[in-house]
């Protein structure tokens, strides 16, 4: 029998598999809504629901088995052409999948208990019954759980010869679980346990299965339905199901009364177990691996530093070889966490469908670049901002069908999600062909709220970025989707935390694109090491454009700008911004950084070169520091702060917009600090 830990592991595997199956089922159903003749989607939908029902039965999750059984019956009628998949029918099936998803999240991972809202469940069952033409009356969950999930045919007697393979237990299966599920198809009226080949007691192996069973089952189920009970162990047993001619009147026994004996299994099945090239690994284990690789990167940097100090050529050569291997390990480890962004994009088919129906709009979702890969930690954190942008595009951006026709546009609006790589970063775009941003309206609202002075001179792009300010909204009325002044500021905050940047490209009457630029990973980055006085900073290398010496004439220019090949470059001095003491008597340097279309110069003391950086989060004590996204440990053991370039660029922009600002040298009122020798 399975131990508690083994049972919990199986349950956790089922819960993970159940989420995947429901996701697959929902995607197939949404494809069917646009293409009802898609046989691949029909079969995929039916297969996902059928597999979920079988898996739930193994763990005695009766409400889930009940709901999936009736949903499966409805799907069969659609698959067989007896019913047409209408919009109300699709909505009902999606509601059922939402309920199943809720059940999975409410299963107790320790004991498998499931408590549900019976009134809501009964309502769904009544709707399913009515959709199948059985009338609107709802059967209670209790009634359905006590009833046999069988067809309406006359019960018959079946003989089942079941012989388990020796490695059944080693693969995590419990024979009693399958017998409990078999009882749902009818009554087990006879059970014979084979003991003729039981090995001697001293030869028994607790991990080896010697069990064989002969079962008589009274059921109205078909042969295929009975065989489906053992679908998950077909590679670990031999199974023979036959219809018994004369009905036998034998006493019914419960599978709980089984005394597990053992028998030598029959010959192994002819077909080999299916092989798979995929292995599921817990995200926590990958995180642990990335952390260890990060520590290895730091240790390698320290070893290289010591080798250079000692001047031992052999040691330098060896540490360099180790460094190259560590870099390869780092790249391989990070690839383990890379997932295709299309999986996240596909979730928005349901969002677009539901929101467009709520607003009575016709919208088509187009997904591009779904094969683009991004770190799973980034994917998990970008889902909510993307949801805000998608809902905003549907609500504010895309017009109603009548409005679109009046302006000569197609009745159906188009929403596009796109992903691609650009300059070492990943770009996610949410585009629509709607009305675009109303620049005048945004400025009017911003002035009314006191966010902008009435006589302020702002570019069109600066005005567009005002929608990300907290509390800003152009909606006239509050609805379920908008008007409360929350959402877009949350989007920018979330993107800032990911060290990203958001841009807006809008054309009045033609549409709008929100463009998000994100780093590929949050764990380990390539950085550029600089110093100010005795303090060290790291700039993400993919944001560094060039470096130059800062002459006295450049530093003395008024307004905080320098001339970079005929174009003004705004600059910010890190020692002034963070309240640090710069090195006296040393010629300073300028690091030109850029993100998207923004560019600026950072004035520092020394340029110390490239390095691999393991990002460590800042503690609560340093949460007030603006312009810092994290920290890292150098090979020398010194702590260096990682610069938050988007935050610095925004500060610089706000300083430039202010008429009394001195962006190059004005202190930021940040308490001074020093990390030297930490």
Residue of 335 and 621 predicted with greater confidence: 335
Residue of 3 and 345 predicted with greater confidence: 345
With a cut of 80, say whether residue 219 has pLDDT above it: yes
DSSP characters over 192-225: EE--TTPPPGGG--TTS---EEEEEEEES--HHH
Least confident of 280-289, 307-316, 650-659: 650-659
Per cent of the chain over pLDDT 70 is 80
With a cut of 70, say whether residue 1 has pLDDT above it: no
Place of tokens 């990911």: 498
With a cut of 80, say whether residue 601 has pLDDT above it: yes
Give the up-direction half-sphere exposure of residue 502: CA atoms within 13 A in the CB hemisphere. 24
User: How many other β-carbons are positioned within 10 Å of the β-carbon of residue 8?
Assistant: 15
Q: What CATH architecture is 340-519?
A: 2-Layer Sandwich (3.30)
pLDDT at residue number 592:
92
Per cent of the chain over pLDDT 90 is 11
pLDDT at residue number 433:
93
Give how far Cα 611 sits from Cα of 168, 247, 539, 625, Å: 51, 80, 10, 23
Q: Tell me the pLDDT band of 254, cut-offs 50, 70 and 90.
A: very low
pLDDT (tens digit per residue) in 231-253: 778 778 888 898 875 444 444 44
Least confident of 75-79, 203-207, 481-485, 591-595: 481-485
Q: Tell me the pLDDT band of 142, cut-offs 50, 70 and 90.
A: very low
pLDDT (tens digit per residue) in 257-276: 333 333 333 333 343 443 44
With a cut of 90, say whether residue 643 has pLDDT above it: no
pLDDT at residue number 624:
66
Q: What is the mean pLDDT of the chain?
A: 78
Q: Tell me the pLDDT band of 306, cut-offs 50, 70 and 90.
A: confident
pLDDT (tens digit per residue) in 15-51: 888 888 898 889 888 888 888 888 888 888 888 888 8
With a cut of 60, say whether residue 183 has pLDDT above it: yes
pLDDT at residue number 247:
44
- Integer Cα distance of 316 and 307 in angstroms: 5
pLDDT (tens digit per residue) in 445-463: 888 888 888 887 888 888 8
Residue of 496 and 528 predicted with greater confidence: 528
The domains of the chain are located at 4-146, 156-257, 283-337, 340-519, 524-657
pLDDT at residue number 192:
85
Give the best-scoring range by mean pLDDT among 174-178, 326-330, 399-403, 538-542. 399-403
Residue pair 575/564 in contact (Cβ under 8 Å)? The answer is no
Superfamily of domain covering 156-257: ACT domain (3.30.70.260)
pLDDT at residue number 417:
95
DSSP characters over 381-397: HHHHHHHHHHHHIIIII
Q: Tell me the pLDDT band of 648, cut-offs 50, 70 and 90.
A: confident
- CATH (residue range 524-657): 2.30.30.40
Q: Tell me the pLDDT band of 481, cut-offs 50, 70 and 90.
A: low
Tell me the mean pLDDT in the region 281-297. 81
pLDDT at residue number 17:
85
pLDDT at residue number 258:
37
Tell me the mean pLDDT in the region 406-430. 89
> Which residue in 666, 412, 375 sits closest to 499, CA to CA?
375
pLDDT at residue number 195:
64
With a cut of 50, say whether residue 394 has pLDDT above it: yes
Q: Both ends of the chain: CA-CA distance in Å?
A: 55
With a cut of 80, say whether residue 676 has pLDDT above it: no
pLDDT at residue number 366:
92
Which tokens sit at 652? Answer: 């610089």
Strands in 237-243's sheet, in edge-to-edge order, are 186-193, 212-219, 156-164, 237-243
**Sign of the C-alpha dihedral computed for residues 131, 135, 137 and 141 taken in this order:** negative
Residue of 656 and 632 predicted with greater confidence: 632
Residues shown for the chain: 678
Helix (H, G, I), strand (E, B) or coil at 501: strand
276 Cβ contact list (under 8 Å, min separation 6): none
Beta-strand (E) ranges in 615-666? 628-633, 639-643
Least confident of 238-252, 391-405, 583-597: 238-252
Q: Tell me the pLDDT band of 678, cut-offs 50, 70 and 90.
A: very low
C-beta pairs of 366-369 under 8 Å, 24+ apart in sequence? 366/414, 366/415, 366/416, 366/417, 367/342, 367/416, 367/417, 367/418, 368/416, 368/417, 368/418, 368/419, 369/341, 369/342, 369/418, 369/419, 369/420
Phi/psi for 130 (5° steps) reads -65, -40
With a cut of 80, say whether residue 675 has pLDDT above it: no
Q: Where are the alpha helices (DSSP H) in 132-267?
A: 141-146, 175-182, 223-229
Tell me the mean pLDDT in the region 634-652. 80
With a cut of 60, say whether residue 478 has pLDDT above it: no
- CATH (residue range 4-146): 1.20.120.160
With a cut of 70, say whether residue 217 has pLDDT above it: yes
């Amino acid at each position: 029998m399975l131990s508690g830990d083994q049972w919990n592991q199986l349950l956790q595997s089922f819960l993970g598999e159940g989420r995947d199956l429901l996701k697959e089922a929902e995607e197939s159903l949404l494809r069917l809504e646009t293409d009802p003749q898609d046989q691949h989607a029909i079969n995929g939908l039916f297969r996902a629901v059928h597999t979920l029902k079988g898996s739930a039965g193994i763990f005695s999750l009766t409400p889930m088995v009940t709901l999936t059984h009736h949903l499966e019956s409805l799907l069969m009628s659609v698959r067989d052409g007896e019913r047409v998949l209408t919009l109300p029918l699709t909505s009902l099936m999606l509601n059922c999948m939402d309920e199943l998803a809720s059940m999975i999240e409410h299963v107790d991972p320790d004991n498998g208990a499931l408590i549900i809202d019976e009134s809501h469940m009964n309502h769904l069952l009544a709707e399913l019954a009515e959709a199948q033409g059985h009338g609107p009356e709802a059967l209670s969950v209790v009634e359905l759980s006590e009833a046999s999930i069988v067809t309406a045919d006359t019960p018959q007697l079946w003989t089942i010869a079941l012989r388990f393979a020796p490695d059944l237990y080693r693969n995590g299966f419990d024979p009693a679980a399958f017998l409990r599920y078999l009882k749902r198809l009818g009554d087990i009226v006879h059970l014979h346990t084979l003991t003729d080949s039981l090995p001697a007691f001293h030869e028994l192996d607790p991990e080896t299965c010697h069990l064989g069973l002969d079962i008589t089952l009274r059921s109205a189920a078909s042969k295929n339905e009975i065989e489906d009970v053992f679908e998950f162990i077909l590679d670990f047993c031999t199974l023979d199901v036959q219809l018994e001619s004369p009905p036998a009147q034998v006493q019914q026994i419960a599978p709980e009364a089984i005394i597990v004996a053992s028998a030598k299994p029959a010959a192994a099945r002819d077909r080999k177990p299916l092989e798979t090239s995929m292995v599921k690994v817990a995200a926590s284990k990958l995180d642990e691996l990335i952390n260890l690789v990060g520590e290895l990167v730091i240790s390698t940097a320290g070893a290289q530093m010591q080798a250079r100090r000692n001047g031992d050529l052999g040691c330098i050569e060896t540490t360099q070889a180790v460094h190259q291997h560590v870099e390869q390990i780092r790249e391989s480890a990070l690839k383990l966490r890379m997932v295709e962004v299309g999986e996240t994009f596909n979730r928005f088919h349901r969002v677009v469908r539901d929101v467009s129906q709520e607003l009575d709009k016709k919208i088509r979702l187009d997904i591009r670049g779904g094969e683009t890969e991004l770190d799973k930690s980034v994917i998990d954190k970008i889902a909510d901002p993307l949801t805000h942008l998608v809902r905003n595009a549907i609500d504010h951006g895309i017009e109603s069908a009548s409005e679109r026709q009046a302006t000569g546009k197609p009745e159906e609006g188009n929403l596009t999600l796109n992903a691609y790589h650009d300059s070492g970063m990943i770009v996610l775009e949410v585009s629509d062909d709607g009305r675009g941003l109303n620049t005048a309206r945004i400025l009017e609202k911003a002035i009314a709220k006191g966010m902008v002075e009435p006589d302020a001179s702002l570019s069109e792009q600066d005005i567009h970025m005002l929608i990300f300010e907290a509390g800003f909204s152009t909606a006239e009325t509050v609805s379920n989707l908008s008007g409360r002044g929350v959402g877009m500021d949350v989007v920018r905050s979330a993107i800032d935390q990911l060290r990203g940047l958001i841009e807006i490209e809008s054309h009045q009457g033609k549409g709008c694109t929100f463009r998000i630029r994100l780093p590929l990973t949050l764990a380990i980055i390539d950085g550029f090491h600089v110093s100010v006085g005795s303090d060290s900073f790291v700039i993400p290398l993919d944001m560094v454009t060039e470096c130059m010496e800062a002459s006295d004439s450049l530093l003395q220019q008024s307004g905080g700008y320098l001339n970079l090949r005929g174009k003004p470059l705004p600059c910010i001095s890190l020692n002034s911004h963070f309240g640090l003491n710069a090195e006296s008597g040393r010629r300073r340097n300028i690091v030109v950084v850029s993100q998207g279309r923004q560019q600026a110069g950072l004035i520092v003391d020394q340029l110390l070169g490239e390095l691999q950086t393991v990002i460590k989060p800042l503690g609560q004590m340093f949460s007030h520091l603006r312009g810092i996204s994290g920290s890292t440990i150098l090979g020398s053991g010194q702590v260096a702060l990682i610069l938050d370039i988007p935050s610095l660029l925004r500060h610089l922009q706000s300083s430039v917009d202010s008429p009394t600002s001195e962006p190059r040298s004005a202190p930021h009122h940040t308490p001074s600090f020093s990390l030297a020798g930490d």
